[in-house]
Amino acid sequence: MVWERLRHFLYETCRSVRRGAWGVVTSIGAITVAFLVTGIFLLLTINLGTVVAQWAEDFQVVVFLRDDITPQQLTLVRKRLDGELAVRAVTFLSKEQALGDFRRQLRGQESLLEGLKDNPLPASFHLRIQKQYQTANALGQLAASLKRMEGVDDVLYGQEWVERLTSLIQVMKIVAIAIGAVLGMASLFIVANTIRLAVHARAQEIEIMRLVGATRTYIQIPLILEGALHGAVGAALALTLLYVVFRATMTQLGASAPLIFAEPQWGRFLQMEIRIALVGAGALLGGVGSFVAVRRFLKV
């Protein structure tokens, strides 16, 4: 009995879709556009979040030392850095090591340093900072405090860029939610009207079903399933188009992509859980639109 009803509902749903023609195409197209735009913002937000996490992990504060720093001053600076709660790890780089690293960075252009008599690069401490202290205010206080120490020439940090990028991600999340809500409401309206037209086209058939004792639920379910099918197909199409655009973008970036995104997951597409959630949201959107349209018709 249950199987027979299910088969009837599925048959009626497919028949209604075939009858819908251009209305079905319009409904699915609207949902596709809505989820495509939302998916683009979601994809950008996730990958920008990956970039921020990578930069936060690799972020360093560099403490440059004066050339005339004494061994006693160097020891005091090292002890101070080791005792800082904000500092996760400390690495010392001597003048000779700094020059050696600079030479390695100039691969094939070492001739630029041939006339160099004295080593102009300072010794330095490279500090890895605890995540909870990676804020502009905390780093500013740390830098100001370290600059006042004897033997310290300058303190360099670039956390302002991470702060700006984090703010950009927050703005993008808000924009994605706002655009998704507006386009979702538009899609809901289009689906509801598409189903309403389908219901009106079958008004006589539905009236006969009601006369012979068919319940509201029995009449509603195929039409609600049709709306859910519109939503699921539209969301799936949006994900397919988004993936095509994503792969084309990664191909265009080529070798430069690993410089932007973290290995080995650079340029990640939406996770499977998110994709399933988007298709489910599309089905829910279409089902709600259908439910609203059918309920209004049956009340009349």
Q: Which tens digits make up the pLDDT trace of 209-232?
A: 777 777 777 777 777 887 788 788
pLDDT, residue 22, reads 58
Name the burial class of residue 153, with classes exposed (0-12), middle (13-18) and buried (19+) by CB atoms within 10 angstroms of its CB.
middle
Mention every residue, 6+ apart, whose C-beta is less than 8 A from residue 250: 257, 267
State the average pLDDT for the chain. 76
Query: Worst-scoring range by mean pLDDT, 21-35, 70-84, 253-267?
Result: 253-267
Please give the backbone phi and psi of residue 245, each rounded to the nearest 5 degrees, phi first: -65, -40
DSSP calls for 214-237: --HHHHHHHHHHHHHHHHHHHHHH
How far is the C-alpha of 83 from the C-alpha of 10, rounded, in Å?
A: 69
Query: Worst-scoring range by mean pLDDT, 99-108, 120-129, 151-160, 273-282?
Result: 99-108
The pair of three-digit structure tokens given for residue 127, joined into one six-digit string: 């500090």
**Residues forming beta bridges with residue 93, ordered by sequence position:** 124
- Average pLDDT (96-115) is 69
Tell me which residue of 266, 259, 189, 261 sits closest to 230, measured CA to CA: 189
How far is the C-alpha of 25 from the C-alpha of 30, rounded, in Å?
A: 9
Give the CATH class of 60-157.
alpha beta
Mention every residue, 6+ apart, whose C-beta is less than 8 A from residue 185: none
> Can you give 65-89 as a three-state secondary structure string?
ECCCCCHHHHHHHHHHHHHCCCEEE
156 has pLDDT over 80: yes
pLDDT, residue 220, reads 77
Compute CA 273 distance to the chain's CA centroid, rounded to the nearest angstrom: 13
Could you tell me the CA-to-CA distances from 231 to 146, 282, 286 in Å, in that order? 58, 4, 5
Crossing angle of the two packed helices 272-299 and 159-201, in degrees rounded to 10: 40
pLDDT, residue 21, reads 55
List, in sequence order, the alpha helices (H) in 113-215. Answer: 136-147, 159-201, 203-211
How far is the C-alpha of 17 from the C-alpha of 13, rounded, in Å?
A: 6
pLDDT, residue 80, reads 92
Domain ranges, ordered by start, for the chain: 2-55+162-299, 60-157
How far is the C-alpha of 8 from the C-alpha of 10, rounded, in Å?
A: 5
pLDDT digits (tens, 9 = 90+) for 164-223: 766 777 787 787 778 777 877 777 777 677 667 666 766 676 777 777 777 777 777 777
